[in-house]
Amino acid sequence: MSHATLCTIVVTYNRLEKCQRTLLRLLQEPIDHLIVIENGSTDGTREWLRTLHDDRMIVLEQAVNGGGAKGFETGMREARARFDPDWYLLMDDDGRPHQGAIAAFRATLPRPEGAVLAAVYFPDGTICEMNRPWRNPFWHAGVFRDTFLKLGGRRAFHIPDAAYSAGAPVSIDGGSFVGQFISRVAVERCGFPDGRMFIYGDDVHYTLRLARAGLSNAFDPRVHFEHECATALHGAVMRPYWKTYYHHRNLFRVYRLAIGPVLFWPLMLMLVPRWMTKGSALPSHDRQCYRALIRMAILDALRGKLDRPHDEILARSGES
Dihedral (CA of 33, 3, 188, 214) sign: negative
Length of the chain: 320
Asked if residue 151 lies in contact with residue 52, where contact means CB atoms within 8 angstroms, the answer is no
Please state which CATH class domain 6-227 belongs to. Answer: alpha beta
3-state helix, strand, coil in the chain (%, to 5): 45, 20, 40
Predicted confidence pLDDT, tens digits, the chain (320 residues): 469 999 999 999 999 999 999 999 999 999 999 999 999 999 999 999 999 999 999 999 999 999 999 999 999 999 999 999 999 999 999 999 999 999 999 999 999 999 999 999 999 999 999 999 999 999 998 998 888 876 667 788 999 999 999 989 999 999 999 999 999 999 999 999 999 999 999 999 999 999 999 999 999 999 999 999 875 545 578 889 999 999 999 999 999 999 998 999 999 999 999 999 999 999 999 999 999 999 999 999 999 999 999 999 999 998 86
Give the burial class of 140: count Cβ atoms within 10 A of its Cβ; 0-12 exposed, 13-18 middle, 19 or more buried. middle
Q: Where are the domains of the chain?
A: 6-227, 233-317
Structure letter (DSSP) for residue 96: E
* Helix 243-259 with 310-317: angle, nearest 10 deg: 120
Question: Structure pTM?
Answer: 0.94
One-letter amino acid of 183: S
